[in-house]
Structure 1
Amino acid sequence: MNVLQICFAYPPSFSGYGKQLKTVNDSLLKNNKDIEINIITAFDGEEHKNNQNIYSFFNKDRKSYKNHLLMHYTFSFFYFLKFFRLFLKADVIHAIKAGPEAAIAVIIAKVLRKPVIVKIVQNELEIENKGFINKLRLQVITKWSTRIIAISPKIEENLYKNSVEKNRIVLINNSIDTDRFFPVKDLEKKEIREKHNIGNDDLVFMFLGSITKRKGIHDLLNSLARVNFIIPCTLLFIGPNYNEIQNFEEVIKKITEKTENLEIKYIPFTKSPEQFFHLSDFLILPSYSEGMPNVVLEALSSELPVLLSDIDVHKSICDSKFCRLFRVSDEISLSEEIQKIIINPDMLLSNKTEARRFVLENNTVKIISNKYLALYKDLIND
């Protein structure tokens, strides 16, 4: 079985969907000897040199390029020319996001008469004000894909409303490596905090993701001025800075200097995000849009309660036992929820075991990789 995957940003490039794909692929390849997976991705990386099945369109890593939108469209419209032989070898073609690269993959698969799968997320369906080209892209994907993967019941429902036949929609959640993202004992948590110079009695909030406007970073920074930090708190920002937030590091330095009981730390890159889940108490994700945020599932698997913007995908995974919602793009609403947690952390921490149970029942690597394997086999045998 030869599977060709198209994934714009694949590890080590920083992306939630790329990391998610690698987790599933590792499980598939480990447990199934009769499957070959080739991956076409945009950017090069040191890890790719040791993997003959990863094909990079550009010859440098993602950080070497400043105009990511230009890179995305260049990749999307020309990758198939460079790697056309991989399309000829493939039994199944699988596009990981419903961007322009997926529309091209669908067209090529249609010409070659090969089955093609496209994974779609909520913000890729929201095209009301996105122009003719984006509407055409979505129409190509929804009309011509052999199967469309919905990662939540809400997306499944919206696809059906967009006239996609039910027998072409497959519901597959994102997966989490629960052996990597797990809760630690208090003593180990204390030791990890000591390594990062964080007090054992601090209430630690973390944000993990790109430092961009879409992630709601402005709202989070502005909300801090409205919060009364009555106990020592630490806020961690972990992720690459793409220079969308002007003078980001200077801003967090000034906030730390003038805010009593609050220290903000910035970690631009990490290969072991699990250590930050282990030392933290809460995850904050104020995004304006998300696909299916793996970082939230990783937090829940690590028994971290979460504070999320009230976008649809967050609502679909938010249980009041371990989650609080605030109004998206509303720094006052966000500050109020942070304040409630500081006043009474136990309102969520007391139910943190429920968070991991949610992931174990819905999102383990074994459950999700088996669903992908069944889908691939079904299309090949159809």
Structure 2
Amino acid sequence: MKIAFIGQKGIPMKFGGVEKHVESLAVGLAERGHDVYAYTRPWYTPKKLKIYKGVHLISLGSFKTKHLDAISHSFKASIDVLRRNFDVVHYHGVGPALMAWIPKLFKPSCKVVITFHCIDRYHQKWGLLARLALYLGEWAAVHFADDTITVSKTLQNYCADTYSADTIYIPNGVDIVKDTSAEIIKKKYGLTKGSYILFLSRLVKHKGAHYLIEAYNQLHTDKKLVIAGGSAFTDDYVKFLKKQAQYNPNIIFTGNVEGGSREWKELYSNAYLFVHPSESEGLPIVVLEAMSFGLPVLASNIRENMEAIAGGHGFSFKNKNVNDLKKKLEHLINSPKLVNEVGLDAKKYVLENYSWVDIVNSVEHVYQELLSFNVVNSFSGKAIHIR
């Protein structure tokens, strides 16, 4: 099959859950012998990079602003698709889904698949008009696609309840990883095994870093707090976070940490606890990644986070409740045996239930069904997709 991916900033992934998802999926499909193309933005992926791990990269410019970056790039990519003979065009995100009508209308031989990653209009960085556009993007995601994929059961239920839409559940995934000793992070930040609490995400308001900093400032602990991530057109919010932390020398801002890098692995491998205080998610890849390292997770009790740590494979606090977050942090800092046991159980659970091998198989199966191919189960993994 000849497959195109639209909506991601680019690959290889530097930051971003969608980018991690697309990279793993695209590379996995290319390894299976498919002809895979990913559209990239030159500010994220260098234009000179034409192929990555068997995936062809098509660089197109965008209007790099908060409101126009994704939609302008998706429009250009959708137009470019018309001159190429793709079997499947796969959009990622409800914003890019607004452009899915283009191949649907002008390239009817091509099948359109859309992955619904998150209810983006809930994110606080968007104004009224942007939220309206993202609401229309949700509608497009379930009406323009030949098949719509949701990355969590919570999103699948949302699409059914809000749009009476039948979608396919195929989650995010994780790779098998090895622990990495603290070398770079010790030299740069003075961090050692178990000496810090980790937050790793883009610094956008709905990820909730401000709740964590406020709660941490009320603790009496020798464990440091590491805020790993950078701005995503949110410079004012980053300034606010640094002002929150200005009188606490134990709060460390690393800036962007490239996914898959040595520093990224070290941060996950050596943290005592991972905290994810997000207000809105799809199915958080960072939570699954932390679990894959055997790192225990404390997350806000929104449904998407609770789905990830279901069955006692993590800890939770009341969403947006700084006092409850503080109490849970105090309890877990003083319960190292419990923290270690839950982390080890979480690692086993996530590797059994969120394997990229199974996810690639399931997405491939969706494509094959749409194209009326004879489906042959050619691997030993299990299918994940659920209608």
Counterpart residue type for residue 27 of structure 2: D
d(CA) in 1 for partners of 2:193 and 2:43?
42
d(CA) in 2 for partners of 1:135 and 1:46?
28
Q: Given the superposition, is the C-alpha separation of residues 50 and 140 from structure 1 closer, same or farther in structure 2, using an over 3 Å criterion?
A: closer
CA contact (8 A) 2:193 2:271 kept: no
1:269 lines up with 2:256 in the alignment: yes
d(CA) in 2 for partners of 1:138 and 1:269?
29
Q: How far apart are 1:252 and its partner, in Å?
A: 6.3
Counterpart residue type for residue 57 of structure 1: L
2:97 to 92, 95, 102: 102
Q: Given the superposition, is the C-alpha separation of residues 286 and 249 from structure 1 closer, same or farther in structure 2, using an over 3 Å criterion?
A: closer
d(CA) in 1 for partners of 2:138 and 2:174?
28
Which residue pairs with 2:205 in the alignment?
A: 213
CA contact (8 A) 1:10 1:19 kept: no
d(CA) in 2 for partners of 1:27 and 1:317?
23
**SS of residue in 2 equivalent to 1:8:** coil
Which residue pairs with 2:58 in the alignment?
A: 55
Which blocks of at least 5 consecutive residues in structure 2 are unaligned? Answer: 374-387
Q: Given the superposition, is the C-alpha separation of residues 125 and 159 from structure 1 closer, same or farther in structure 2, using an over 3 Å criterion?
A: farther
d(CA) in 2 for partners of 1:120 and 1:277?
27
Which residue pairs with 1:159 in the alignment?
A: 159
Give the structure-1-normalised TM-score: 0.83
CA contact (8 A) 2:93 2:118 kept: no
Aligned 1:16-95 pairs, distance under 5 A? 16-30=17-31, 32-33=32-33, 35-45=34-44, 48-52=47-51, 53-58=56-61, 65=64, 67-86=65-84, 89-95=85-91
CA contact (8 A) 2:192 2:270 kept: no
Counterpart residue type for residue 37 of structure 1: V
1:330 to 304, 308, 321: 321
1:1-45 per-residue CA deviation (whole Å, 9 max, x = no partner) reads 111110232234521111121012222212x22x11111233444
d(CA) in 1 for partners of 2:186 and 2:133?
52
Q: How far apart are 1:201 and its partner, in Å?
A: 6.9
d(CA) in 2 for partners of 1:140 and 1:59?
21
Q: Percent identity?
A: 21
User: Structure 1 or 2: larger helix share?
Assistant: 1
Which residue pairs with 1:352 in the alignment?
A: 343
Q: How far apart are 1:275 and its partner, in Å?
A: 1.5
**SS of residue in 2 equivalent to 1:160:** helix
Say what the alpha-carbon RMSD is for the aligned residues. 2.8
1:112 lines up with 2:99 in the alignment: no
Which residue pairs with 1:260 in the alignment?
A: none
Q: Given the superposition, is the C-alpha separation of residues 275 and 211 from structure 1 closer, same or farther in structure 2, using an over 3 Å criterion?
A: same
**SS of residue in 1 equivalent to 2:100:** helix
d(CA) in 1 for partners of 2:6 and 2:36?
11
Which blocks of at least 5 consecutive residues in structure 1 are unaligned? Answer: 258-262
Aligned 1:129-148 pairs, distance under 5 A? 133-148=133-148
Q: Given the superposition, is the C-alpha separation of residues 163 and 287 from structure 1 closer, same or farther in structure 2, using an over 3 Å criterion?
A: closer
Give the structure-2-normalised TM-score: 0.82
1:262-294 per-residue CA deviation (whole Å, 9 max, x = no partner) reads x22221133311221111121111112122211
Q: How far apart are 1:356 and its partner, in Å?
A: 1.1
CA contact (8 A) 1:175 1:364 kept: yes
Q: How far apart are 1:248 and its partner, in Å?
A: 5.2
**SS of residue in 1 equivalent to 2:71:** helix
Q: Given the superposition, is the C-alpha separation of residues 193 and 9 from structure 1 closer, same or farther in structure 2, using an over 3 Å criterion?
A: closer
Which residue pairs with 2:239 in the alignment?
A: 247
Which residue pairs with 2:15 in the alignment?
A: 14
Q: How far apart are 1:375 and its partner, in Å?
A: 1.6
